[in-house]
Structure 1
Amino acid sequence: MAALAGTAVAAEVQIQASFAPSALDPTRNEFTNDTPNGGLCVRPNLCGPGEKSVLLPITVRYAEMRPFAGADHEARISVPSTWRRVVLTHADSGRTAETEWRVSFLGATYYLTRDARETTGNDNVSQAHHQLWQGNGWSEPPPGCGRMNYAEAGGTSWRFGWRYPEAATTCVKRPRHLIDDGMQLREVSLGYTMRSPNPLAMEAGIYTGQLQLRVGPGGDFDFGTNTVASDNELIVHFTLTVTHAFQVTFPQAGPKVSLAPAGGWSQWTRHGTPPARLQQELPFLLTTSNEFSVKMRCQHDSGGRCGIANASTGAVVPIDVDVTMPGMRDMRSGAFAQNTPLVSERSGQVAPRFTPQSYLQNRQARLRFAANGPAMTEMLKAPASRWQGDVTVVFDSEP
C-alpha cells in the first residue's frame, strides 16, 4: 500500500441565518438560513425542507485498494450525523445561545486514474462503475446509509450522494477489482440541518460561534485508514443575526392619570361611604418580538413603590402600579403578564422581565394605578386635598 502524508491545515465554511419578525406570519419564531446553497442542494428535488448543503474545499486521496483485503483497502466513510451543540455569543453583550447542527448527507465525485471500463472490461460506463465495487457500485448506498437517487458517471469518475440518518454507522464500500493507483474524492458536498434557538428569547444583534471538526482516520469525518485529506480539520463558522421590533404607544404623549373610585365620588360625598380603592387604567399598544423588563422611576419613592405627595403638607403615600400585557409571560415565574406589580428601580428589587409567546403587533395592553388600604385612608383624612407625583414607566429591551 502506498504511503500517504498530509499537512495540518483547516478548511472553513460559513453558515448565516437571520430572524426578523413578520406581520404576515406572527407565530413564526424560527431563523431563516441565508447561506447560499453549494453542492447537491443546487440540484432540484434532492434536498428536503430545512436542508441545505455547502461545498467543502477538501480533497481526499485513497492509496491502493485491493479486493477482499480488509479495512486498509476500503472506503469507510463516517460523518458527524449526530446533533452537535454550538455556543453562540452576542458580539456586544456577551450573552449566549445555543444552536444544534448535524450532517444529513455527503456527496462527492470519486476520480480514478484508469477508466473504469478498462479495469472491468465493460464498455458501458455506468455498468463498469457498478462492477468495480461490491454491492452494485456507489449508486446503491451501503447498509446504514440512505439513497439520494442521484448519480452521474464518467469514464474515470462517479458522482454520488449518500444520506446519513441520525447517528448513522460508518458506511463502507469495498472494491471488486484492483485499483492500484487509488482514487480521489473531490467536490465534496455536505448536507446539513440546524435546530436554531428561539429568537424571541434572544437580544437583537449578531451572534457568532464555531464548530471544530477533525478530518481523518478516527476523526469526525473519517474516510478510511488508507486516506489522506487535503485538510485535517473543518471549522464551521456560524453567524446568526437577530432583528427585533419593539414599540410602546400611548394614546397621547405625557398621559395623565387621575385616581378615582369606580363609579365616581358620589358614595363618599353624599353618604360618607369610603371607596374600596382609588384607581385608573392607562391603555397602550404593544409591538414586540423580544423580551423586555418594565420598571418605574419615581418622583416620590415610598417603600419600594412610587408615591404621590399632598400638595399642601408634603405627606407621601404609596400607590400600586401593575401591568397587563396579553401574549407576554413573566420570565421568572412563567405566569401570564396579568396585573403584574411593578417596582421602583431604586427599591433594590429585580424588575419583572417578560417574553412574548409570538410576535405581537399593536397588542392592546394596560397599566393600572391604584391607591389601596392605608394609602387611601390617609388621603381621605384630608378632604379636598390634592395629591400628585410623576411616575415614569420604563420598558427596557436591554438585558
Structure 2
Amino acid sequence: MKGVLLWAFASPVMGQVATITALFKPDSAHPHLNKFTNTTPPSGYCQSHPQQCEINRFFSLQVPIQFHSRAPILANHASGRQGPMFRVPAEWRDLTVIHEGTGAPQQVRIRIAGIGTRVVTDDVKKLVGGADDYQIAHNRLWGSSWVYAPAPCQFTGNGFYSPDFYEFFWRTPYAGVCAKQAKYDVPWMRYDYLDFAYELETPDPLKMASGKYTGSISYAVGPLGDFDFGDVMLPTDPMVTLDFSLDVQHTLKIDIPPGGEKFELVPAGGWQGWLQAGRKPVRLFRDQTFQISASSRFKMYIECKRWATLDCVIEDAAGRRAVELQVSVSLPNGLTDLAGQPVKHRRLQAGANNAQIFEPGFYVDSAPGVLHFEVPKNEVDWMLSASVASPYSGSVTVIWDSEI
C-alpha cells in the first residue's frame, strides 16, 4: 500500500492599488457649489494634458501594469482578440464609502472615461519593409494612426511616436471593444503602462457628516476581465484596486454681537404705557440677531438653569415666583427644516432629545438669524398681579450642535 501526500499552495492575487481622494470644504466665494473637489494628484494623460481633462471633466491615473504579447500578431488577423483591442469598464459602477467614525454608508459612482498606453515593438520601418518616414510606417502597419480611435472609442487629438513606439490616449464614452488590425506581421509587442481616465459622481456633501469616508472598488485586468485587452496581450498584474478617501470638512459657526449674551425683556414701546397710563403689556420680549455659517445639518435646543415642562423659566428676586420664557428661532434663506419648510419663529425646547433639526440647501455663509425670547401674555398678567414688585431674572443656553 502506498500513501500519497498532496500539498496545496495558495498564492495571493497580486495587483496595483491607486488612491483617489476628494475634499468638500465650503467656500464662501462659491456658496452654491456643493460638490467635492478631486484632490488626487494627476498622473498619466491629465498630468500631460490638463486642459483637455478639464474640458472633458475627467481625471486620469497611470499604474505600472505592462502587457506583453504571448504570441506574434499576424497580419490581417480575423478576430479582434488576436490583436490590439481595448475594452474598459466605461459603464457607471457603484461603490460604498463608509464613515470612519460612525459607519454610515454613502454611494459613489465611477466610470472609466478614457484609455491609453505606449505601444512598443520593433522598428516599424523594418516591419513594413521601408517607408518615407516613421509616421507613415506606423500608419501603414496599423492601417491608420493610433491618434484616430476606432469606434466606439473617440479621438482626443494627442499622440507621440518614435521608431519603435507610439503613445496614444482615447476617450471611452461608451462600453465596447475598440480594436486595430495589423496589416503586417508583428513578432512581439508590449504596452508599457496602463493609463486611464475616470469620471466620478459623489454624494451631496451637505447631507454627509463631517469626517472621512473610505471604500474601494477592484477591476480584473486581462482576457475577459474588466480591462480586457484581448487574448494576445497579457498583463503583469491581474487586478487594479481603487481606494477612495472622501474628506468632509463642514462649517457650523455662530457669531453673537458684542453684549448680545445679556439683555432685558421689555414690552413693545417700553414700560411707559404701564407706568404712566396703566396699560398692561401684552408680552415681554427681545429679539437677538446672530450670524450663522452652516454647510451641514445641525440641531438646536435649549438648556435651562430652571425649567417648567419644555421651556425655561425666569424667577423673581426671592425665588418664589417663576414665569415661562419661550425661545424660538428664525433662520436665514437656505436653511430649512427636514420637510424643506422655512424656519420662522420655530419654537425651541429644553433638552437634546427635543431638538429641532435643520439643514442647508446650499452653503449659508454669515447670514443673519434671529433668536426670539418672550414671556407670553398670561405669564405677564400673573407677574403684574403680584402685590410686591420684583425684578425677574434667569438664564438660558441656546445650543447649535452639528452632531446629529
User: Paired residue for 1:285, among 287, 291, 295?
Assistant: 291
Distance 2:259 2:319 in 1: 30
Partner of 2:395: 390
1:162 equivalent to 2:208? Answer: no
Distance 1:18 1:40, change over 3 A: same
* Deviation per residue, 1:221-254 (Å, 9 max, x gap): 1112333212221111122223344322222367
Distance 1:197 1:245 in 2: 18
1:59 equivalent to 2:66? Answer: yes
Distance 1:317 1:7, change over 3 A: closer
* TM-score (ref. length: structure 1): 0.87
Residue type matched to 2:371 in 1?
L
* Deviation per residue, 1:35-57 (Å, 9 max, x gap): 22211122244323443211112
Q: SS at the partner of 1:375?
A: helix
Partner of 1:371: 375
Partner of 1:152: 160
User: Paired residue for 1:11, among 16, 19, 24?
Assistant: 16
User: Paired residue for 2:329, among 307, 311, 323?
Assistant: 323
Distance 2:58 2:81 in 1: 33
Distance 1:391 1:107, change over 3 A: same
Distance 2:334 2:343 in 1: 6
- Mark the runs of 5 or more structure 2 residues left unpaired by the alignment: 1-10
User: Paired residue for 1:86, among 87, 95, 110?
Assistant: 95
Distance 1:314 1:211, change over 3 A: farther
1:68 equivalent to 2:72? Answer: no
Paired residues for 1:16-55 under 5 Å: 16-44=21-49, 45-49=51-55, 50-55=57-62
User: Paired residue for 1:248, among 254, 260, 264?
Assistant: 254
Q: Which moved more, 1:319-328 or 1:155-164?
A: 319-328
Residue type matched to 1:130 in 2?
N
* Deviation per residue, 1:100-143 (Å, 9 max, x gap): 3222211101112x322222223232222222224x24222111
Q: Which moved more, 1:9-18 or 1:94-103?
A: 94-103
Partner of 1:3: none
Distance 1:327 1:231, change over 3 A: farther
Instruction: Give the drift of 1:271.
Output: 4.9
Instruction: Give the drift of 1:211.
Output: 1.7
Residue type matched to 2:364 in 1?
L
User: Paired residue for 2:346, among 340, 345, 349?
Assistant: 340
Residue type matched to 1:57 in 2?
P
Residue type matched to 1:211 in 2?
I
Q: SS at the partner of 2:120?
A: strand
Instruction: Give the drift of 1:319.
Output: 2.5
Asked if 1 retains the 8 angstrom alpha-carbon contact of 2:260 and 2:288, the reply is: no
Instruction: Calculate the aligned-residue CA RMSD, in Å.
Output: 2.6
Partner of 2:356: 352
Distance 1:381 1:90 in 2: 57
Distance 2:120 2:141 in 1: 13
* TM-score (ref. length: structure 2): 0.86
Distance 1:175 1:7 in 2: 36
Q: SS at the partner of 1:219?
A: coil
Distance 1:7 1:142, change over 3 A: farther
1:227 equivalent to 2:233? Answer: yes
* Deviation per residue, 1:123-179 (Å, 9 max, x gap): 232222222224x242221111110111212222111111011x3322222222232
Distance 1:257 1:324, change over 3 A: same
Instruction: Give the drift of 1:328.
Output: 4.0
Asked if 1 retains the 8 angstrom alpha-carbon contact of 2:335 and 2:364, the reply is: no
Instruction: Give the drift of 1:11.
Output: 0.6
Q: SS at the partner of 2:140?
A: helix
Give the total of aligned pairs. Answer: 388
Paired residues for 1:97-246 under 5 Å: 97-112=106-121, 114-123=122-131, 124-134=133-143, 136-165=144-173, 167-181=174-188, 183-246=189-252
* Deviation per residue, 1:52-96 (Å, 9 max, x gap): 211112112233323233244133312122223332223333334
Instruction: Give the drift of 1:392.
Output: 0.5
Instruction: Give the drift of 1:280.
Output: 0.9
Distance 1:137 1:161 in 2: 12
Distance 1:74 1:185, change over 3 A: same
Asked if 1 retains the 8 angstrom alpha-carbon contact of 2:67 and 2:193, the reply is: no
